[in-house]
Amino acid sequence: MTELISTEPATGAVLWTGTTGDANQAVADARTAWPGWAAMAVTRRIEAVRRYANRIKSQADTLAKLISRETGKPLWEAHTEVESVIKKIDISVNAYLERTAQRQLKSQPNMRAALRHKPHGVLAVIGPYNFPAHLPNGHIIPALIAGNTVVFKPSEKTPAVGQFLADTFAESGLPTGVVNILQGGPDIGKELTANDGLDGVLFTGSAHTGIALNRQFANRPDKILALEMGGNNPIIGWDTDDIHSAAVMIVQSAFLSSGQRCSAASRLIVKDSLYDRLVSEVKRISNRLIIDEPFSTPAPFMGPVIDNKVADGLTESFLALMSHGGQPIKHMARPFGDRPFLTPGIIDVTRMKERPDLELFGPLLQVIRVNDFDEAIAEANNTRYGLSAALIGGNAQQYDQFWSNSRAGIVNWNKLTVGASSEAPFGGIGLSGNHRPSAYYAADYCAYPVVSMEADQAHASIGIGLKDEMADAIEAATAAAAAAAE
């Protein structure tokens, strides 16, 4: 086993230490626990996850502070994440009952046709660092309600929050082995997904890792694979009389969570005649954003990104865009020296011959000028990703056109690209996912439908294609007589 150390990005202080886990043992424990958990009445499984929700509620402040310390996000934002964890339980219960409810289908007389759902078995849940409680919770809870057992591997960058969730499940009285935590880095993750005892993998993270998982399971159609990946998300700024509100929504879409949201706006596509006013206001508001430690006063809008490696990569990306023709609007800077704080970077990439189609996971917004609305939609779709897209301004006819032609799983009008409701499906196409939306639709990939034709007694007959029994007897007698005469 290898030692794991988690440090606070805002201060560099050591927060948590632990050791890597044993993937084979975690899967074996989940496999042992599965028959009993799956056989339990769904009402009892729901009671168990409600106990978990109540324990989270009673420790909400503790969990929020832990999330803030381990991710660097402001305390107010960590509290919203904890609220999402708690609300997810009722949402998941409702989703399960609605989307996987037992149903009676039309059938022949004296027969029943039933639709029921079964759990897959043992599911691996691989979580990200940006929402280390909410996002894995969004897979774990639907999986448990459906009757699966879980091996939960949190991000190696947020192991403390992952351990908190696992401990809370244990304290809630779930049977041993129903939720198993597996700490470790990418190597442990590979050991987990390679284990043949798994029945599926529920993944949230980068497109790079998601593609690797897709390849790994390409010849295993027996294993469910739900991929929730990133985005290179467009936000279009069009005709509007309220420049300030438009700019506020753009800033929030791009820079909430220090830009570390898969649905964050990466590209601002703006009408040329609106460019000067809108971009100037976006820059003005961005200059006012407070960037500081999560518990500082006044409360910051942004904390640091997750670590210095990520911060270095983002500043290098900004410089690379400049060196290839990008025109800086607001330079990205490191205001706190060797700690991973970044100021928002805004850069005009209109004149770049080739724009990188990457998820730059941080506070970096690329701006592109266009002349007409068709060009704006084409530019919005100029990506292999397809998670979130938004139109700010415009009219109802333009929004209809945008909605119809936009290649994304979330398409909004005069709303942020971020902040989707857990009571709706969440997911994308292309490199953003594999057509298995999560959130409210997580119930769909946590259980599979089984159709049954049922009758109380066996009764059958063949009404066509059989020889007449009397004709068979006469034919047999004639043959016997002929044989005797010989």
Residues 225 and 301 in one domain: no
pLDDT at position 474, please?
A: 72
Q: Which residue in 8, 156, 191, 262 is the catalytic one?
A: 262
Q: Which of 40, 72, 484 is nearest to 310 (CA)?
A: 72
Q: Is residue 245 part of a domain?
A: yes
The model's confidence at residue 235, banded by pLDDT at 50, 70 and 90, is very high
- Look up the domain containing 18 and give its range: 3-229+436-450
Under the banding of pLDDT at 50, 70 and 90, the label for residue 470 is confident
With beta carbons less than 8 A apart as the criterion, state whether 253 and 262 touch.
no
Cβ–Cβ under 8 Å, residues 404 and 382: no
User: How does strand 112-119 pair with strand 103-105?
Assistant: antiparallel
Q: Say if residue 368 is in the same domain as residue 441.
A: no
Looking at the domain assignment, is residue 483 inside a domain?
no
Q: Same domain for 183 and 287? A: no
Q: Which helix (H) or strand (E) holds 189?
A: helix 186-193
* 426 and 409 Cβ atoms separated by less than 8 Å: yes
Cα–Cα distance, 205 to 278 (Å, whole number): 32
Q: Which of 228, 281, 293, 379 is catalytic?
A: 228
Question: Do 215 and 152 fall into the same domain?
Answer: yes
For residues 341 and 269, membership in a common domain is answered with yes
Q: Are residues 221 and 344 in the same domain?
A: no
Whether residues 66 and 211 share a domain: the answer is yes
In a domain, 482, yes or no: no
Report CA torsion sign: 446, 452, 456, 458.
negative
Mean pLDDT of 230-238: 97
| pLDDT tens readout for residues 306-341 | 999 999 999 999 999 999 999 999 999 999 989 999
Q: What is the CATH number of the domain that holds 405?
A: 3.40.309.10
Q: Is 446 a catalytic residue?
A: no
Number of domains in the chain: 2
How far, in Å, CA of 402 to CA of 411, rounded?
8
Clarify whether residues 114 and 80 are in a common domain: yes
Could you tell me if residue 389 is inside a domain?
Answer: yes
Q: Indicate if 206 and 337 belong to the same structural domain.
A: no
167 touches 196 (CB < 8 A): no
- Same structural domain, 283 and 403: yes
Query: Does 178 lie in the same domain as 259?
Result: no
In 3-state terms, the chain is what percent helix, strand and coil (to 5)? 45, 20, 35
Q: Which helix (H) or strand (E) holds 245?
A: helix 243-255
Q: What is the CATH number of the domain that holds 64?
A: 3.40.605.10
The string of pLDDT tens digits covering residues 386-443 is: 999 999 999 999 999 999 999 999 999 999 999 988 899 999 999 999 988 999 999 9
Shared domain for 199 and 321, answered yes or no, is: no
Whether residue 464 lies inside any domain: the answer is no
The verdict on residue 475 lying in a domain is no
Q: Is 478 domain-assigned? A: no
The reported pLDDT for the residue numbered 112 is 83
Does the annotation mark 77 as catalytic? no
- Tens of pLDDT, residue by residue over 54-110, are 999 999 999 999 999 999 999 999 999 999 999 999 999 999 999 998 888 777 777
- Give the model confidence (pLDDT) of 246-302 as tens digits: 999 999 999 999 999 999 999 999 999 999 999 999 999 999 999 999 999 999 999
357 domain-assigned: yes
